[in-house]
Structure 1
């Protein structure tokens, strides 16, 4: 009875447009008020307990590293490098948009942060170059999903923490799918720009001095993922300590290499990092409390029993899981899906012999695609609010990229080697 009322309250609050974190908290509170067998203090304990993990310290660290990178001028240098590499392609700025998201995947750690940054940085330039705003917004939103799998993506850390999966292995497992997404998107962008006549290739030669200066500045930024992954693999530091090292690296680059940061900008970047971290961690706390409610009511065990008895193979389970996650991703925020649903589905995946690292990448890709899917996609709303594009125009422009991402999801789902080869080789 109590859990039924909690689930109905959650659904009603979602329909009313209540922010995900408050909807989860209110439904959990309703569970205790209606007549649960647990004392009310247990809810507070579970909310606090949801954040009592050293692994979660990596989240504010990597968020801070990404914000410091933006304030240090690294983003502009990466954009210059991306434009230099794509100037001879059809749709150079659109290609640079995808490439910049790939570069920033290891720096920002968040697809929402990446979409917001590129929407401010690139969409005005693309509009001036003759691209329709809806087209530019669709590319910005869809390419930001690359960030979810390129290490050190926040989703990789959250999934590893919730399901007790090696974060280092998840970092490596996301590299090949992320690069595959980037290549596929760049091919689609090229086809569309050729067909629609957007921004023809530039043929003028680039001086050797410009190549060297731009590449050298960009490589300094791109060394961060190498430092993070290399340090974890060699055993110099844990994923959490890697986050602290990423902050230190970003600070040194901003203060002493590029010299674009001062004490004022450090304070501003720290404040931005604090607000972004609180937003993510609050969702994790309330989603952990709601997940505990489901656990008390044996919901995970019932779902696992139902799926294992009704589904006869790993292929069938993966198809059902993909369909379920794509649908729920239209309504729920990505981190909430990770914390509430992954503990329900990961044990079932293990029963079918599916590697937990592989299933983690499949789960994260599903949750990411949901962020650009109506009616409640968070990346969709973030991008449209910044660029001023209507939701209807955005949806029409995003359809080819959504179909491409779903196709890539199926490829990654049913060819486990794409995500497992690199971590198996390195570890």
Structure 2
């Protein structure tokens, strides 16, 4: 137990010093191996590379790079602006319509990337400056963009759900369907906030923000393609017509077809940047997956799961208190660490205990994902806030201050989602 405690202290210390999370986990694992050798005489050094290799040797992980590439190609094609123009056309009579467009566009875009950071970058590049021109405070516009981007990872296709499904043996198809209504819940919370904050802002004409670049027929075809793509990807999984990896490949192929035909993209440099960005993102995810494998093995070796299980079993006698403690703990963890490493570390510990607590793993997956994604907009880590700041030019310091109301709003959403299981489980009960 002492070696495991030292390992965690070293890992957190390296992260605080600015080391990459994956490298921090690898370094902490190495410290654990050294302490074990010095205190127990066991040489575990050969196990680390084997565990790391096994960690990324999973068939379901093939879907991750395909989903990432699909999202980046569709953003490059101009689909983001197409969606926003169509939404603004329907909402321009409302005061401050670009706030509503921001939230609703993220609902549709969530069906293409499954990445909050990618959606935040794409949306902030196009919308934040027009929002400021039409009366929004720059920091609040950026914070709203980052908050709306959290819809992506809790609606299909979701990269966190792919990782959870692979690690915990939960049906990814069920997880994808379970995330739809929670995504709508988050959107409704943000829309109500926009309605309150934008009630005195002016109306906006569509052509002032998005000058027409194509004819009405082509615009309609592009919009139809944007809506059809996520329907095909998710529908092929839900109906059983394709596996998760096959659905990701279908989505990627459709994205390429749309790029070359419907959207007729000729900016090959932008396409190249999308490919490079996809490769970089996938590399970061996979090295994190590999680095987390030894951490999970060490926690199992030290019996940490049993301690966590005993605590959760004790809390399970009062479900409201259990969910309050669980969600609060996840929100606090999200302040210090990124969602993907936390998912990789927590899943092997918590999921074996859920059956004895009477908690549905699909429901827990959705709650955990939303709670951890709030960390992306929570200071001091708040990676989505850094992304929005770089993409839109909004200074980071006021952006960090403006994010707190959205952290509170989404935190309330996480508690509601935890205490009302049917929000997550109703749709899966219909399809599965």
Q: Does the pair score TM above 0.5?
A: yes
Contact 1:331 1:377 in 2 (8 A): no
Q: Does 1:368 align with 2:373?
A: yes
Change (3 A) 1:261 1:175: farther
Which residue of structure 1 aligns with residue 17 of structure 2? 16
Which residue of structure 2 aligns with residue 29 of structure 1? 30
Offset of residue 352 of structure 1: 1.2
Q: Does 1:199 align with 2:202?
A: yes
CA distance in 2, matches of 1:255, 1:265: 13
Offset of residue 241 of structure 1: 1.0
Offset of residue 266 of structure 1: 4.6
Among 173, 182, 187, the alignment partner of 1:168 is: 173
**1:63-121 deviations in Å (ceiling 9; x for gaps):** 00011102222222112122222212221112111111111101121001111111222
For residues 28-427 of structure 1, the aligned pairs below 5 Å read: 28-36=29-37, 37-194=42-199, 197-200=200-203, 214-261=219-266, 266-309=271-314, 311-427=316-432
Which residue of structure 1 aligns with residue 210 of structure 2? none
Offset of residue 381 of structure 1: 2.3
Deviates more, 1:259-268 or 1:342-351: 259-268
CA distance in 2, matches of 1:104, 1:228: 13
Change (3 A) 1:311 1:425: closer
- TM-score calculated relative to the size of structure 2: 0.92
**1:117-169 deviations in Å (ceiling 9; x for gaps):** 11222112222333221011111110000111110011111111111100000
**1:281-300 deviations in Å (ceiling 9; x for gaps):** 11111122212221111111
SS at match of 2:377: coil
Offset of residue 391 of structure 1: 4.2
Change (3 A) 1:202 1:387: closer
Deviates more, 1:338-347 or 1:97-106: 338-347
SS at match of 1:44: helix
Offset of residue 215 of structure 1: 4.1
Change (3 A) 1:311 1:175: closer
CA distance in 1, matches of 2:247, 2:43: 39
Contact 2:26 2:291 in 1 (8 A): yes
- TM-score calculated relative to the size of structure 1: 0.93
Change (3 A) 1:378 1:88: same
Change (3 A) 1:76 1:310: closer
Aligned-pair Cα RMSD in Å: 2.2
**1:290-332 deviations in Å (ceiling 9; x for gaps):** 1222111111122112332355233332221111100000000
CA distance in 2, matches of 1:85, 1:46: 52
CA distance in 2, matches of 1:358, 1:266: 37
CA distance in 1, matches of 2:230, 2:355: 30
Contact 1:314 1:353 in 2 (8 A): no
Contact 1:314 1:349 in 2 (8 A): no
Contact 2:315 2:321 in 1 (8 A): no
Offset of residue 171 of structure 1: 0.3
Deviates more, 1:55-64 or 1:310-319: 310-319
CA distance in 1, matches of 2:216, 2:317: 56
CA distance in 1, matches of 2:26, 2:71: 29
Offset of residue 262 of structure 1: 6.8
Deviates more, 1:36-45 or 1:368-377: 36-45
Contact 2:106 2:119 in 1 (8 A): yes
SS at match of 2:74: helix
**1:348-384 deviations in Å (ceiling 9; x for gaps):** 3321111110000000011111111112122122223
Contact 1:314 1:352 in 2 (8 A): no
